[in-house]
Every structure is written in C-alpha cells, then in structure tokens.
Structure 1
Amino acid sequence: CWTSKDDAEGLVACGVVFHPSMQLEAPFGGDVEALLKGVQCPMLIAPAGNDVPMWAEDGAFGQALKASRRGAEVIFKEYPEMKHGWTVRGDLADAAVARDVEDAMAEATAFLAKYLK
C-alpha cells in the first residue's frame, strides 16, 4: 500500500495517501513510528472508517507523522463511512462511495496543485 521511505529521504515533494497501510515495515525489522517521524514533505492522509485507529489524526501513527513536519503541512481527512480500499475498489454504484471518491479526488487534486508547481 504505502511506504514513506522516499518521503523520509526527501525524494518526494508531497504525498496523498488514501486508506493508509504499512503492514510490511515492522515484520522486516522497521519501526513505523520512527519512519513516519522522518517524513519531510507535506502530506494529505485520508483513512477509511475501518482503517486501524493508529492512522487517525490523534492515533499513534498520525501523531508520529505530525511530529515529523519540520514546518510542512499535514492534513487528515477521515472518511468514516468508507472501508479500506474504497478509492480504488469501492462500488461506485453505491451513492456514499461515489460521493466520497469524488470528494477524495477533489481534495487530492487541490492538495497536489498547491505543492506541485
């Protein structure tokens, strides 16, 4: 799903992450919170309602990411009615999914336009 290694190394201008996940960092000896504290670029994080609570703005990963900011913006936009993966595999025939996918894409477009000039 998502890695922040390139972000932490300063190789990325900004990032948008829908339904975040870092399941493979810890099993390979990594420290997710330490990795997130190293992220240097502005980020838009958009967790789904069933994503692990650590990804909420006040969760452990959310707080670690906010601690990394070094002056860079971090925005959390939660989608409580959605399930993990909704932006790429959600049922667009479902009005709530279609609404939130449209909103998420608009949020991402505006965020990226702000930083990718």
Structure 2
Amino acid sequence: MACCPEGSLPSLQTSYEPRGKEIKVKDLDAYLVGQGSRALIVAYDIYGFGRTSGRARAVCDQLANEGFLVIMPDFFRGTAWPVGKTFDDTMGTWLKTMPYEPQVCSDVHANVVPYLREQHGAKCIGMAGFCWGAWLIQKVSSVPEVLSCGVSFHPSLQIEETLFGGSIDEMIGAVKCPQLLMPAGNDLNMVQAGGQVITKLKASDIERVRDGSRIHAFPDMMHGFMLKAALDVGDEKVKRDVSAAFRLAVDYFNKYMGEL
C-alpha cells in the first residue's frame, strides 16, 4: 500500500471528550492542551485532526498530563482520509497532494514553531508522530536546532520513496536529533530492529543521534494500534502494548527534551 501496510487497523470511533481547545495559528487549525516550557508537536495518521481520528486527541491530553504543552496542527487542512473508506490506490494520489514542501514545511517552521516559542515560551520542542506523522518527524528533524527528539509510532517512512521520489537513506542521514521508533508487527522491515532506518541512524555523524536513537518493536500489534486499536474489548495484549508504548514515549521525551 502507498502508506499503511496490509492488515492495518481501520478508523476507530470513540466517545472520548477532549479537554483541550481548538485554536488558530495564523490560518492553521490546531488542537492545543497543557502548559509548560517543554512543547510537543503531534503529527497524526491518515485520519487526521478531527474527532473521528481515533485516540489522537486523547493521546495529546495524556501527554499534557505528563507536563508537556501539546499542539496537534491540522497539517492536512481538512482533507483527511475518509472514515470507513478502504485502503486503496487512491490513497497515494491523495497523499501526494501534501508533500513536505512548500505548505507542510511552512506550517511547521513558519507557523507552529514560532507560535510555541513566542506565544508560550517553549524552551524545547519534541515531536510525536503516527504513520504518516512519523515521516513528517524525519523531515522536520533535518532542520538544525528545531527538535530535541522525535518519537514515531508504527511509522510509514517508505512514502519518502514510493510517493515523493526521495531516498530513505538521504532522509534519515539528514536527521539532526535522536529518534525512537515503535513499529508494529506488520510494519515494513526497514523500520524494524536491524532494518535500514535504525542502521542509518546509528551511522550518523552526530553523536547524540547515534547514541540516542533506538527501536522498540511491538510484534503482537498491527499498524495503527496506538490510535486505532480498541481498548474496551478485553484484549489484554492491546491494553498492555498501548500503555507500554505511551510510557516509553514519555520516558524518551523526559530524557531528551532540552537537548539540541
């Protein structure tokens, strides 16, 4: 598939009531929650920004509970993958309408980052991403002195090559901050332990990228588990791994936030 591997979880409807607020950052919609000088930018999966995007806003709220200021911008600008639509060949066509440059790049570096620093006094910024959002983290991480670290859940980094004609090695070779990747069992080999991505990160010329980057795989989970695996159906493995992945992310942010 263009983005999500075969067997990926479909959209998830929840009754969760978010406790943050929707704001405007210039002309960009965003969900904002929490406070503090440590800020996290959350980049969602293909289902986007709205209340139909599984647990995306719930995860933002959980991160805020851990002491972070959290913002989830609507990088898709209202054009998320439709809930209930099957994963078909049109997904690639749709995603190709949102390359990193110029709009998404501008949304991050001209809108969101200055907003966090100037309006909220953010001293350091990390980034959490899911599926497509994990690819965005790698792109943002190529700019020096922006992110302290990145955490990617079930990453779909292959779109750099399959959709945008780039090179995985070149994209990862440009990363300037440490990365934690948490692939599911059906994610591609390139993002698994011993795969292309971690191998390239561990060969970085930047010491803190080499030393800090790591992978923690969740082989019992399917792509999308962090936002779209149901937690209320008695599957103890899902509850175990969603909880573990969240804790790993928080611990990683606490360790590396503040370093540039």
Which residue of structure 1 lines up, in the alignment, with residue 172 of structure 2? 36
Measure, in 1, the Cα distance between the counterparts of 2:192 and 2:238.
Answer: 20
Number of residues of Structure 1 aligned to a counterpart in Structure 2: 117
Q: Which runs of 5+ in 2 are unaligned?
A: 1-131
Contact 1:42 1:69 in 2 (8 A): no
Which residues in structure 2 correspond to 1:43-58 (within 5 Å)? 43-58=179-194
Q: Which runs of 5+ in 1 are unaligned?
A: none
Measure, in 1, the Cα distance between the counterparts of 2:201 and 2:240.
Answer: 27
Contact 2:153 2:181 in 1 (8 A): yes
Which residue of structure 2 lines up, in the alignment, with residue 112 of structure 1? 253
Which residue of structure 2 lines up, in the alignment, with residue 87 of structure 1? 226
**Can you list the C-alpha shifts for 1:19-63, whole angstroms capped at 9, x where unaligned?**
011243123221111111111111111111110011112111221
Name whichever structure is richer in strand by fraction: 2
Measure, in 2, the Cα distance between the counterparts of 1:67 and 1:8.
Answer: 15
Measure, in 2, the Cα distance between the counterparts of 1:9 and 1:68.
Answer: 15
Amino acid at match of 1:66: K
Measure, in 2, the Cα distance between the counterparts of 1:114 and 1:48.
Answer: 23
For CA contacts below 8 A with separation 6 or more, give which structure has more relative contact order: 1
- Using the TM superposition, give the Cα deviation of residue 69 of structure 1 relative to its aligned residue in structure 2, in angstroms: 5.9
In the superposition, the TM-score normalised over structure 1's length comes to: 0.91
- Using the TM superposition, give the Cα deviation of residue 68 of structure 1 relative to its aligned residue in structure 2, in angstroms: 2.4
Structural RMSD (CA): 1.4
Contact 2:198 2:213 in 1 (8 A): no
Give the share of equivalent positions with the same residue, in percent: 36
* 1:21 maps to which of 145, 151, 156: 156
**Can you list the C-alpha shifts for 1:48-106, whole angstroms capped at 9, x where unaligned?**
11100111121112212222261121121010100001001012132101100000111
Name whichever structure is richer in helix by fraction: 1
